[in-house]
Amino acid sequence: MLGVGDYAWRLIPGNPILLRVVNAGGKRRRDLFIRCSYLGLLIFIVIFSLLASGTGSSTQSLADLSKTSASLFEHLSYVQLGLVALLSPVFTAGAITQERDSQTYDILLATPLTNGQVLFGSLLSRVFFVVALLISGVPVFSITQVFGGVAIRSIVLSFLIAASTAMLTGALAMAIAVFKVGTRRTIFAFYMVIVVYLIGGYMLDQFDFFHPFIDSGDPTKRSVSWFTGIHPFLALRTVFNDKTYLPPNVGDLPPNLKWWPLGWYFSDPSSFYIVFMFALSIFLVIPSTIFLRRLAQSTTTLKGALLQKLHLSSGDRGHKPRGVWNNPIAWREAKTKGSAMRASALRYAFIVVGLAGAIILLVMYNHEEPIKDYIGPDSYDANSSTLTVYSNVKSMPVIYRIRPLTQVTLDRLKEDQSGNEPLKVGLDALHDRYVVDNVTTQTDPATADQPNGITWASTISLSEVPRRMSLLNVRQWLLGLVILEFSVILLIVTNAAASTVTREKEDGTLDLLLSTPITSRYYIWGKLRGLVSFVLPFVAVPILGVLLFVLVDIFHRIVGSGSSPDGQYPWVVFPEGVLILPGTLILVTAFASILGMQMSLRCRTTVMAVMSSVGIVVGACFALGFCGRTVIGGHTMGATSVIFGSFSPFTLVTMLVNPLQYAPDAFGDPDNWMLVRITLFISGWVAVAVYALIVWAMYKSMVKNFDMTIRKQSR
């Protein structure tokens, strides 16, 4: 029977690198586990989606089944693309670095193989494994054809977008592996770039500034953006025929956007993405092929040569003595990881950028748009029953006489949980700051003959003051910022934890540590404590960003500015979120740390530990996030969905920052806000306690099996 390597050999004969890497580069047992996990996740999503939609009920029509099939295809496509973006850089970046770690890289370059054979053989063999995963998922995707609603073309485009993404990430990871020395830095830096690009590109797509105006008769219609053709998830979104994100026809484009390739870019972004990414992959491989042996034979790294050219290289420097904690293992993990200049710069850059983003959102939200007529807190005088309306156009304010029967209506913004109809409010609303839309007047007969006679106000129409950034957009951007920071924190701590033990194995210092009186409990607890301490400054960034909004909202409530007359002040973030968020972030970070340490203890190399740790953490967060998002977005469980959604960390963060959009069924009724918020607070801390128990159980298991695992690996 022919194996995968035999097929690869027949596809590209004469390249032993392709055959060797496919057969031996990733252990067969590991490859089988990854394939089974991939298919198991897809099957789980299919079953969960079908059960959540109530498929099989006698009340469902064919149209409902077709919508269920389209929704299932959309979920599977997003999951498939996310897994491809996760797996392809791991397998391809390790192609060159693993050869260097095993001391076979120089031997490989001494063979008659050309640079192209070495590079393309390694690249295609690794990409072949990812493509094999895509092909294995075809039967699962075929389930969507049972109920209809999904075109074959959409399925093909979905697979091609995933394949082109795998090819691009593979080519880019290969280029980084060739031009940059270091296994941990290669994989970790590439993961950081991928996460920042995917989340950052999606956040920038929310700005109307990046959506060119398409004159389609409906100015409010949203179309594709400048990022759609180069962002995999945005390009995939156009495949689903989303009415809120449709690509325009070439004829509807402005004249300056019709010329090629912009016309193709906007009218068919999915096909443009596929072709462009395959072409860019070839372009990235060419320099790596040319400089492969030249860089390998050079004793100076690319970074060192650049520093020498700029005269920035320095000799040995001394350091002042520093105090050590009671547990030196914890001190070493917490302090030495951020002591390098590059690590310190990245840490401070993360803190500055994160806080600056939150401050910018805060300023944009509290900065009002120019208005014409308005009232302030001191406009209404209850003693004289007069209302002073100020104007930015007129030089003098206008004074109206207020009667007890004067009707005051307030047109609140649509994002503030009220209907579209204006809200009838009392005269107390005149003590706040609002825009005056219209005043129906009646002249007082007693002063009708006077030039400046007082006018009675029969009806007053008010509306909320518009802001430079609306409440809905602020919540979306704040949520995106917190999720991006949370994702980067998890990647940082997972990468650091995955190299804690393997790094000491590779440099031979683990044997020295084990020869000291240090016990396994002391060693592991020190590692865990040091990693959590190391990442605490990063964790403080999203917490401080949310705290700024809570403090400003509390200030507005105290001074009474902007409060609604019905007592429902539109919180940007519920204040209890500041109490739940620290525990959630710290405990999930501790879970990622202990998981990375577990993989670092079991794996022999840093590359394998990083691959396993990041894969498990991302897979677990994605699976929990998908289930939590499905639960809180439903319309059948109500407040009960808050309890189940709290056990998914990213879903809990979503409910804390922007619950009104992503959990409308639970938070849509203002009458039940307090009950739902109390439920969220309690279930959030219960979830934190559950994560603490999981971390403690993993810690006890790691301490118990530490000596046995080390002895097995020393054989």
Would you say residue 323 has pLDDT above 50?
yes
Note whether 663 and 578 are same-domain residues: yes
Q: Which domain-ending residue is among 429, 463, 497?
A: 463
Structure tokens at 353: 């950028």
pLDDT of residue 8: 40
Over range 197-215, report the average pLDDT: 72
Q: Which domain-ending residue is among 463, 486, 518?
A: 463
Of 233-242, 276-285, 425-434, 672-681, the range with the lowest mean pLDDT is 425-434
Note whether 447 and 572 are same-domain residues: no
What angle (nearest 5°) sits at the alpha carbon of residue 260, between those of residues 256 and 265?
90
Specify the higher pLDDT residue, 557 or 696: 696
Highest mean pLDDT (candidates 419-433, 452-466, 551-565)? 452-466
Note whether 619 and 675 are same-domain residues: yes
Grouping H, G, I as helix, E, B as strand and the rest as coil, residue 601 is helix
Q: Is residue 311 part of a domain?
A: no
Contact yes or no for 83/131 (Cβ under 8 A): no
Specify the higher pLDDT residue, 685 or 307: 685
Specify the higher pLDDT residue, 68 or 581: 581
Note whether 609 and 573 are same-domain residues: yes
In this prediction, residue 589 has a pLDDT band, given cuts at 50, 70 and 90, of very high
Would you say residue 459 has pLDDT above 80?
yes
pTM of the complete model: 0.69
Query: How many other CB atoms are there within 10 angstroms of residue 317's CB atom?
Result: 5
Domain residues for the domain of 110 are: 26-293
pLDDT of residue 61: 66
Q: At a CB cut-off of 8 Å and minimum separation 6, what does 138 contact?
A: 159
Rounded CA separation 491/477 (Å): 21
Over range 331-340, report the average pLDDT: 65
Residue 261: is the preceding peptide bond cis (ω within 30°)? Answer: yes
Would you say residue 314 has pLDDT above 70?
no
In this prediction, residue 590 has a pLDDT band, given cuts at 50, 70 and 90, of very high
Note whether 59 and 194 are same-domain residues: yes
Note whether 343 and 430 are same-domain residues: no
Q: Is residue 569 part of a domain?
A: yes
Would you say residue 415 has pLDDT above 50?
no
pLDDT of residue 216: 45
Over range 100-129, report the average pLDDT: 73
Enter the DSSP assignment of 22: I
Q: Is residue 302 part of a domain?
A: no
pLDDT of residue 255: 76
Note whether 458 and 485 are same-domain residues: no
Specify the higher pLDDT residue, 585 or 631: 585
Specify the higher pLDDT residue, 95 or 262: 262
Over range 602-616, report the average pLDDT: 76
Q: Is residue 8 part of a domain?
A: no
Over range 320-340, report the average pLDDT: 69
Over range 115-126, report the average pLDDT: 75
Q: Is residue 172 part of a domain?
A: yes
CA 250 centroid distance within chain: 32
Nearest to 610 by CA among 491, 527, 488, 487: 491
Over range 92-112, report the average pLDDT: 65
Would you say residue 549 has pLDDT above 70?
yes
Q: Is residue 478 part of a domain?
A: yes
Of 55-59, 122-126, 181-185, 191-195, the range with the lowest mean pLDDT is 181-185
How many domains in the chain?
A: 3
In this prediction, residue 1 has a pLDDT band, given cuts at 50, 70 and 90, of very low
Owner of token pair 């189940």: 644
Q: Is residue 485 part of a domain?
A: yes
Would you say residue 689 has pLDDT above 80?
yes
Would you say residue 424 has pLDDT above 50?
yes
Note whether 409 and 353 are same-domain residues: no
pLDDT of residue 190: 67
Q: Which domain-ending residue is among 446, 463, 480?
A: 463
Specify the higher pLDDT residue, 26 or 407: 407
Query: How many other CB atoms are there within 10 angstroms of residue 333's CB atom?
Result: 23
Of 120-129, 257-266, 442-451, 488-497, the range with the lowest mean pLDDT is 442-451
Residues β-bridged to residue 450: none
Q: How far is CA 199 from each of CA 82, 192, 357, rounded to the nearest angstrom?
A: 12, 11, 15
List the beta strands (DSSP E) in 477-525. Answer: none
Over range 402-412, report the average pLDDT: 79
Note whether 353 and 209 are same-domain residues: no
pLDDT of residue 365: 81
Grouping H, G, I as helix, E, B as strand and the rest as coil, residue 435 is strand
pLDDT of residue 3: 38
Would you say residue 271 has pLDDT above 60?
yes
Specify the higher pLDDT residue, 548 or 464: 548
Note whether 190 and 279 are same-domain residues: yes
DSSP, residue by residue, 29-68 = HHHHHHHHHHHHHHHHHHHHHHHHHTTT-TT--HHHHHHH
Over range 111-133, report the average pLDDT: 77
Q: What is the mean pLDDT of the chain?
A: 75
pLDDT of residue 10: 40
pLDDT of residue 450: 44
Residue type, position 475, single letter: R
Note whether 332 and 474 are same-domain residues: yes
Structure tokens at 598: 């577990």
pLDDT of residue 509: 74
Note whether 425 and 532 are same-domain residues: no
**Letter string b/e over residues 589-603, b meaning 16 or more CB atoms within 10 A of that residue's CB:** bbbbbbbbbbbbbbb
Over range 191-213, report the average pLDDT: 75
pLDDT of residue 379: 82
Over range 187-215, report the average pLDDT: 71
Q: Is residue 322 part of a domain?
A: no
Q: What percent of the chain has pLDDT over 90?
A: 7
Owner of token pair 């020393």: 714
